[in-house]
Amino acid sequence: MKSGIYPSLAVRTDWSLAQLDYVFQNCSKYGMEPYIDEEDVESENEGMATSMKPEKVETCGPAFAWNVRGLGNEVSQKQVIDLLREGGFSFCGLLETRVKKKNLSKICSKVLGNWDWISNASMCEGGSRIVIGWDPNAVRVMLHSQTSQLMNVFVEAVNGSKKFFCSFIYSHVKSSGRRELWKDLIIHSQVVKNAPWALLGDFNIILEACERSMGSSVVTAGMVDFRECLYKIEVMDLIMSGLQFTWNKSPGNPSGLLKKLDRVMNNVHFMDKFRGANALFLPFVASDHTPMVLNIPSIAGAKPKPFKFANFLSSKPEFLSTVESVWCKEIPGYSMFSVASKLKLLKKPLRKLKYSQGDLAAKVHCDNHDHLFFGCKFASQVWSFFKDFMRLDNVPDNIYQVLDFMIGRPMNKSIWSIIHRLVIGAVVYVIWQERNVRIFQGFKDWLS
C-alpha cells in the first residue's frame, strides 16, 4: 500500500476480514480507492438519476438485487430508476444486464446517476452479467473476488455501524455450469469464516419441489448439488415476506409456470449481527423475475440498565448514612411526590456504594466451579481438613470427581456413608457462603 499500488485481485482473494477492514480505513492515506478493480469502470457524475439520493446519508439503507433481463432497453432502465428513487436504497445488484463493456459507462451513468459501480464484464463473454451500484455517501464497497456467475464484495456503512460480506449471484441455466458456482461459493465461505455474509441473486434452481407451482415432485441432480453447496457453506434463507414464487415463465398468463429461483440468504453470523434483518420480494414489473430487497435494521445503541437495588447493600455500614443524607432533604409538594423524588435521588449514591468494591458482576463471572471447588486457597484448606476427618485420602480435589466418586459408591445406611454425604454438602455450602460474603460484603475469612 505504501507504494500507492492497489493490491491485485489474486492477492485480495486470500485476505481476512481484518485485512479488508484495514484497507477501508487506511487506503485513502495513499491516494487509493478501495473498490475500483483494474478492469472495471467507474460511473460518471451525470444522468437521469443524479438527484435520487441526498448528499449525505448517515446510515446504511436497504439493498436490492434484480434480474432485469437486459439493461439496454428503455423499459428496464426506467423500472430500475423508479425503484431506486422510491426505495431509499444504499446499494444494489443488477443481474443478467447483457450490456457490452463499451456501453457500460453510458448506461450505468444513466441508470445509477451519481452512484459508484462495478461489473464483472471482464469475466464474461457477450456482455456483463452482474452490475453492483452503491451510494458512496452511505456505504463503501470493495470487490473481493468475481467470476462470470458471482461477485463477492465487502460492504461497510460510512458511519461504521455495519460491516459484512455480500455476494451477488446470477447462476448458469444448466446444472453443469452451476457446479463451478458452487465450488466458488465454497471457496469464498472459507474466506468469510465467522464474518456476517449475505447472498442475493438468481440461482436458476429450486431447493424443494414445493417451490414450483406445477410439475413433477422429483428431486433432480441439480437440486441435490444446490443442497450440498448450502450445507457446506452453512447458509439459509433469510426470513422473508412478499411473493413466494419469484419467476414467471409466461408473464401475463395466470396459468403459467411459477418458480422460486431468486433468494436472499445469510449465514448464522449475519443473523446474530443484524437481528431483525429480512427479505422482501416485490411484485413483478418489467422482468419475469421479481425484485428482492434486503432490509437491514439500524443497530440500536446500548440502553442504560434500569436501577436495581441489591439486598446486600443494606448490610453495609455506609448504607444508613447514605439514605439519611438524601431523606433529610426538603422537597416541597405532596407527600407521595416527596417520597418518589427522594427514592429517585437515592439511585446515584446507591449505585456509587454498590460499585465502591469494584465491578461485582465481573468478580462473580470470573468464578468457576474448578476454582471454587477446590482450586482457591481457602476452599483447598477447608476441603483438606474435612477430607482427612472423613478418611477420604484417595478422593480427588475436584468437585465433579468427588460427585462421581460418591455416586459410584453403594447406597447404604452405614454411619460413614451418611457422614460422608452430610459433610460434603456442608463443605460446599460453607465455601459458597464464604464466596458470597467476600464478594458482596467485602469481608475476608469471616469463618475464622
- Cα(255)–Cα(179) distance, rounded to whole angstroms? 32
Q: What string of DSSP letters covers 200-264?
A: EEE-SS-SSGGGBSSS-----HHHHHHHHHHHHHTEEEPPEEE-S--EESSTT-TTS-EE--EEE
Residue 435 is predicted with a pLDDT of: 73
Angle formed at CA 31 by CA 27 and CA 34, multiple of 5 degrees: 40
Question: What is the third-level CATH fold of 9-295?
Answer: Deoxyribonuclease I; Chain A (3.60.10)
Q: Which residues pair with 145 in a beta bridge?
A: 152
Res. 250 pLDDT band, cuts 50 70 90? confident
pLDDT reading at 57 higher than 50: no
pLDDT digits (tens, 9 = 90+) for 81-117: 999 988 889 999 999 999 998 899 999 999 999 999 9
Residue 221 is predicted with a pLDDT of: 93
Residues in CB range of 403: below 8 A, 6 or more apart: none
Give the whole-number percent of the chain exceeding pLDDT 90: 43
Lowest-pLDDT range, 55-59, 144-148, 389-393?
55-59
Residues in CB range of 140: below 8 A, 6 or more apart: 24, 34, 35, 134, 155, 156, 158
- Parse the chain into domains and list their residue ranges: 9-295, 304-357, 362-448
Q: Output 51 or 437, whichever has higher pLDDT.
A: 437
- Mean pLDDT computed over 10-27: 60
Q: Output 22 or 232, whichever has higher pLDDT.
A: 232
Closest CA to 128 of 106, 113, 156: 106
Cell of 353: 456504594
Residue 290 is predicted with a pLDDT of: 94
pLDDT reading at 51 higher than 50: no
* 80 within 8 A of 66, measured Cβ to Cβ: yes
Mean pLDDT computed over every residue of the chain = 80
Residue 309 is predicted with a pLDDT of: 83
Name the residue with cell 478422593.
395
Distances (CA, A) of 300 to 45, 139, 161, 416: 34, 18, 10, 59
Lowest-pLDDT range, 186-200, 223-237, 410-424?
410-424
pLDDT digits (tens, 9 = 90+) for 373-394: 666 777 777 777 777 777 666 6
pTM of the model: 0.59
